[in-house]
Structure 1
Amino acid sequence: MTAPRILVISAMRDEGPHLLEWIAHHRALGVSDFLIFSNGCDDGTDVLLDHLHAAGIVTHVRNEVAPGKTPQWSALKTAARHPLTQAADWIAVLDCDEFVHLKPPLSGLPDLIAAVGEADAIALRWRLFGHDGHARRPQAPTLRAYTRAIVPDALYPALSGFFKTLYRVAGPFQKPGVHRPRQKPQARPRFVDGSGRALPDDFVADPGRILLWDEGQGADLAALNHYSVRSAEDFLIKARRGLPNRTAKPIDLTYWVERNFNMVEETGIQRHWPATGAELARLRALPGVAVAETSSRAWQAACFDDLLRDPAMAKLYGRLLLAAGSTAPGAEAARALVALYRRAAGTG
């Protein structure tokens, strides 16, 4: 049986030190194609992507962003018409801090696709990982350096219920979306959670729904590890560059507190490391790749030193270290907070 053609679409800026591990991990899981849009990079991520493009590892597009539009939405608009999107069997839109975590006995994304049978889409719920005590960027790669996360059954904050979607291109969808694909009007795709369980009709019927509260907590088959803060050093550089999907949203102490969870040890994704590490070595051996990665790391180190000369950034850095880790509330308190949120938003 021919393996499905799986495409990952991403928009990124200044991700050079993390890019190769992210690509290696997903190639090891069976991703066949990467369509990556770079957005005004300062650290040489675009140069690194050029070398990977030349080697046939990714397809790199320098993103031309129209005034008033965000880089990610501009990228997705272009991606919807791209030949790789048309040729794919399954698609996921992922950021460079999101790593698919497959549970035993699955060893690759084709195994996950086979396990969910006739499903059109799989909601991969975020598992929020914290800075794991790292003030400076560690030498170890992300999957080995950051092993502390939020509890798996957290109901609050709302971010613990966000997800990304791996979806079947032949399903009732129009084009890729950030969290879930744009579905055709009146369509009812077969949506399952990370345990392969069908999601409720009200979720399926609402294409704008990007948050799972009580439903869809299943992760027996797969989850999405989200390393959105990493070290305090990484976070400061992220604060400088901004987000790909929101040009106005600040990356500040609030952003850190809502994502920096170091509650429990979670190392399950390291079962993929032998394959990821081998693929990472192959990528670094490609012409120009290792030099470009090293150059990106050097630029970011210098950038961090410059940022600490800014009083506002130095103050933020200190506050990040004071806010050493958030704690998700218990179930009763979480449900009360969810009820308050829904009432305030007019949805409950």
Structure 2
Amino acid sequence: MQGYMAKKVVFTAVKNEGPFLLEWVAYHIAIGFDKVLIVSNDSDDGTTEILNALAAENVIEHFYHNVRPEESAHGKAAEIINRSGSIATGDWVMWLDGDEFLNVHAGDGTVDALIERIGERQGMLVNWHCFGDSGHATFPGRFISKDFTQSDTRDYGRNRRVKTFFRWIEGQTSFMRNPHRPRIAPEAGLKNASFLNGQGAPLDRKFPTHKDWLNGDQATAPRSLIYCCSKADYGTDLAQVNHYTVRTKDMYRLKKHRGRSHPKVKANGKANTERHNDDFFNEFNRNEAFDDSILRFEQRTAEGIAALMAKDAVRAAHIDSIEKTRQRIALMEADESAPAAAAPVPAPAAPVAGDAPQGESYEQRFLARRKSIMPWNKTPDSELARQREVQAVLAKLAGAVFGKGSYVSPDAYIFTTRFRLGARSWVAGETIIRGDVRIGENSTVNAYSQIAGKVSIGAGVRIASQVSIFGFNHGYADIATPIYKQPISMKGVTIGDGVWIGANVVVTDGCSIGANTIVAAGSVVTKSFGDNLLIAGNPARVIRSRIDAPNVEMLASQ
């Protein structure tokens, strides 16, 4: 095209990468990419909302699609970009994953410097350089920072894997399911000398995979080798791909939960092997060497993130994604660290004299247990010191904040990421509370109830015994994947002021119950209801209004 100024295009395909997107975009813009293409599918952590907000600001181009179990997310993403018209002949392009950052060593570290070094050739193969968790159990917030400088040694075998930075030729180059190299048409007539390796030399002529690839015979090359270069090719003189494969332990568990971009079901109907296990983490958690070469762009990346966060919709979507991720990690940790608490808790046996610990009388034990199960009783002075200790520990370990005169039984199971208990509110013993839970003032949660996920409870609420309120849910749409491996969604539950929830009620994710509504014992709430109602049944339905004469047909529509 006469007069066309070639673009520098970076492309990625993502699912549930919300917390990392702004840094990835800001960094690659900082080093000189002027077009960012992102394909996403089936995210529930705020990824879609962030990408839509960035696209609305013309920062990126976003392509959304759904992936069925038998489909490859990478394969579909490649087809979408190939057909998009967003790349023109002469553009320089690279497919990087969301945990990969191109780190240019040539010249001033920019994409332009790398293009100048490649010259008239078609492109280059860029080797991986794998980074570990640098000793962090939880994610510090940025990869382009001093928090992530520990990596593998240069002789680590996985570093022979490559990504390709290349010049696009319409009809002769295209993306394929394998993100490591592009598809090349046989008529392109490309040779080993058409591409450079990481040392800046032509590709190794003795490595047969190069020949198969350049001749358009991608299917001929062994899959494991198409990912790689030869030992003679390996080098990072011109550039490397910083690959933060495992990130940190908490984020790795999320990646494991998300699943792979390959089809979940093979052509023969068998499930694809799950690779994100403990062995994979240990293999890629490389911290033997030090590498801070990417930090020359730390300041520019931070400025780029700040500029993106200055856009209202982007900032709101990013903050929401961070919060969803935090809650999801907390729920997984609670499930793993307290399996006994997640199961139904049997009622305690009636107290007998033998129950009392040595040095504690039966009367003292009786009073303590009565207070645990019946928290509306006035806290005896002897219990105040222990209650202060309980609340201090929960403030430290469970993100808890307590209003004046509130009480939590020492026998309650509080495994929250954030917990707000209003003034004069009480939580009885053997109650399980986990996730992000807020309870207003003058409310009571009785014994053996469970509240989990994102739940907001108003003021003056009474929750009877053995009530279950779940502000989260497991996905189940993918029949080929075990439910425990499918994404967790979190719409949340809202309980209005003055609500009375009877014993053995179940409230499911996404429901709200309006102010002053009564939920009859044993009901299962699967939809939202308005104010001042009496509801009952499985599933719950409106019985009548608490204010006017019953008009069930009208109320049932609420």
Secondary structure in 2 matching 1:215:
coil
Deviation at 1:88, TM superposition (A): 6.1
Query: Which residue is equivalent to 1:220?
Result: 237
Deviation at 1:302, TM superposition (A): 0.6
Relative to 1, partners in 2 of residues 1:198 and 1:172: Cα closer, same or farther, differing over 3 Å?
A: farther
Query: Larger deviation: 280-289 or 22-31?
Result: 280-289
Please tell me whether residue 206 in structure 1 is matched to residue 212 in structure 2: yes
C-alpha distance in 1, partners of 2:240/2:229? 13
Relative to 1, partners in 2 of residues 1:83 and 1:217: Cα closer, same or farther, differing over 3 Å?
A: same
Q: Which amino acid aligns with 1:74?
A: K
Deviation at 1:3, TM superposition (A): 6.4
Gaps of 5+ in 2: 219-225, 265-271, 340-558
Query: Which residue is equivalent to 2:180?
Result: 179
Deviation at 1:105, TM superposition (A): 2.7
Relative to 1, partners in 2 of residues 1:138 and 1:67: Cα closer, same or farther, differing over 3 Å?
A: closer
Deviation at 1:221, TM superposition (A): 1.4
Deviation at 1:50, TM superposition (A): 0.5
Please tell me whether residue 161 in structure 1 is matched to residue 186 in structure 2: no
Gaps of 5+ in 1: 315-348
C-alpha distance in 2, partners of 1:39/1:234? 19
Q: Which amino acid aligns with 1:230?
A: R
Relative to 1, partners in 2 of residues 1:275 and 1:123: Cα closer, same or farther, differing over 3 Å?
A: same
Secondary structure in 2 matching 1:85:
coil
Query: Larger deviation: 268-277 or 302-311?
Result: 302-311
| CA deviation map 1:132-162 (0-9, x unaligned) | 11111214x11212110001233x2xx2211
Please tell me whether residue 286 in structure 1 is matched to residue 311 in structure 2: yes
Please tell me whether residue 310 in structure 1 is matched to residue 335 in structure 2: yes
Deviation at 1:64, TM superposition (A): 2.9
C-alpha distance in 2, partners of 1:260/1:218? 21
Point out the structure with the larger helix share: 1
Relative to 1, partners in 2 of residues 1:258 and 1:223: Cα closer, same or farther, differing over 3 Å?
A: same
Size of the alignment, in residue pairs?
310
Match runs of 1:1-348 below 5 Å: 4-66=6-68, 68-86=70-88, 89-103=91-105, 105-139=107-141, 141-144=142-145, 145-154=147-156, 156=157, 159-170=158-169, 173-177=172-176, 178-185=179-186, 187-189=189-191, 190-201=194-205, 202-207=208-213, 208=218, 209-245=226-262, 247=264, 248=272, 249-311=274-336
Q: Which amino acid aligns with 2:150?
A: R
State whether residues 144 and 301 of structure 2, in contact with CA within 8 Å, keep that contact through their aligned partners in structure 1.
Answer: no
Report the structure number with the largest CA radius of gyration.
2
Secondary structure in 2 matching 1:105:
coil
Deviation at 1:117, TM superposition (A): 1.2
| CA deviation map 1:243-297 (0-9, x unaligned) | 2235333311122122110001110000111221221111111231111111111
Query: Larger deviation: 289-298 or 84-93?
Result: 84-93
* RMSD of aligned residue pairs (Cα, Å): 2.2
Q: Which amino acid aligns with 1:83?
A: G
C-alpha distance in 2, partners of 1:165/1:313? 45
State whether residues 6 and 89 of structure 1, in contact with CA within 8 Å, keep that contact through their aligned partners in structure 2.
Answer: yes
Point out the structure with the larger strand share: 2
Which fold has the larger relative contact order, with Cα–Cα distance below 8 Å and residues 6 or more apart in sequence? 1
Secondary structure in 2 matching 1:310:
helix
Query: Larger deviation: 258-267 or 164-173?
Result: 164-173
Query: Larger deviation: 232-241 or 58-67?
Result: 58-67
C-alpha distance in 2, partners of 1:194/1:313? 49
Deviation at 1:26, TM superposition (A): 0.4
State whether residues 106 and 221 of structure 1, in contact with CA within 8 Å, keep that contact through their aligned partners in structure 2.
Answer: no
State whether residues 143 and 269 of structure 1, in contact with CA within 8 Å, keep that contact through their aligned partners in structure 2.
Answer: yes
Instruction: Report % sequence identity.
Output: 28
Q: Which amino acid aligns with 1:34?
A: V
C-alpha distance in 2, partners of 1:51/1:88? 29
| CA deviation map 1:149-176 (0-9, x unaligned) | 001233x2xx221111111113884311
State whether residues 35 and 58 of structure 1, in contact with CA within 8 Å, keep that contact through their aligned partners in structure 2.
Answer: yes
Q: Which amino acid aligns with 2:203?
A: L
C-alpha distance in 2, partners of 1:111/1:41? 35
Q: Which amino acid aligns with 1:297?
A: I
Relative to 1, partners in 2 of residues 1:172 and 1:127: Cα closer, same or farther, differing over 3 Å?
A: farther
Deviation at 1:2, TM superposition (A): 8.5
State whether residues 42 and 66 of structure 2, in contact with CA within 8 Å, keep that contact through their aligned partners in structure 1.
Answer: no
| CA deviation map 1:115-145 (0-9, x unaligned) | 1112212111000100111111214x11212
